[in-house]
Every structure is written in structure tokens, then in C-alpha cells.
Amino acid sequence: MKAASPLMSVDQLNAVLAQSAFLEPYGFSVRSREEGLCTLIVPFSTSLERPGGIVSGMTIMGAADVAMWLAIMAVRGTQEQWVTTDMKTAFLRSARQEDVLCVARILKLGKRTAYGTAECTNVEGQLLAHHVISYARVGE
């Protein structure tokens, strides 16, 4: 995968998160990034628990979706607009009162479509969910 421009830094990606009001309740932050790869951390918050005391599925799916969005942005910059077109999630284990790490990996990045995977784990590395995600570029 060849970058169109230098990779966006972790600080630049965290600035995108800070400017995205719809993500504020989650407290997401970028831990690291490489070309085609972005690691996001979701700090535990009781506001993200569902009944039964586990981190909600929508939080884990949201983390995967945002990690992929940022992985694309890290390579392509902020001028292009990308949206999720498909996401398949397999929940494998629940998270209970713990931070979640989500690593998104771009497998294919074309001019108009992107395809990749994301894995969410707890801090001990136990796999919580596996995601397959497709994105499409909108506008010109």
C-alpha cells in the first residue's frame, strides 16, 4: 500500500477525534498508527455498560468502525470523505469493567473502496470481537 502523502501522526488523528463531537461519549484515543494500521483505545466508563455489566456491543463495534476510518485517514489524509458500507462482527467474549483496544488493518485500499479487518481485545490481549469492514469514498 503506497501512501499518497506522509502518514498522519497519532497527534493529528487524536485531533480528528477531539473535533468529532459524535464520538465524545466514547473517549476514544489513538494509541498508535502505521501505514494501513491504527490502534484505538476505549477507556472503560460505566456509561458504556449495558445491562448485565458488560461493555456494550455498540461501543465495541463503534471502536472498530472508527479505528478503520482513522486507518484510512492516516494514509489518505482528511480531504477525502469515507463512509462505512458494510460491517460484519463476531462477538467472541465480553468485556467487563476494562479498557478495550481495537486494531484496524487495511487489507485493500483503492481509489473508491477500502476493505479491512479489526480486532478488539482487552488489555491482556484476549480477543473480544472480530470485524470485517468495507468503506466507500464519497464525493469528489
DSSP symbol at 45: -
Q: Can you give the pTM of this predicted structure?
A: 0.92
**Backbone torsions φ then ψ of 83, nearest 5 degrees:** -130, 150
List, for residues 70-116, the tens digit of each pLDDT value: 999 999 999 999 999 999 999 999 999 999 999 999 999 999 999 99
CATH superfamily membership of 10-138 = Hotdog Thioesterase (3.10.129.10)
Confidence of residue 140 (pLDDT cuts 50, 70, 90): low
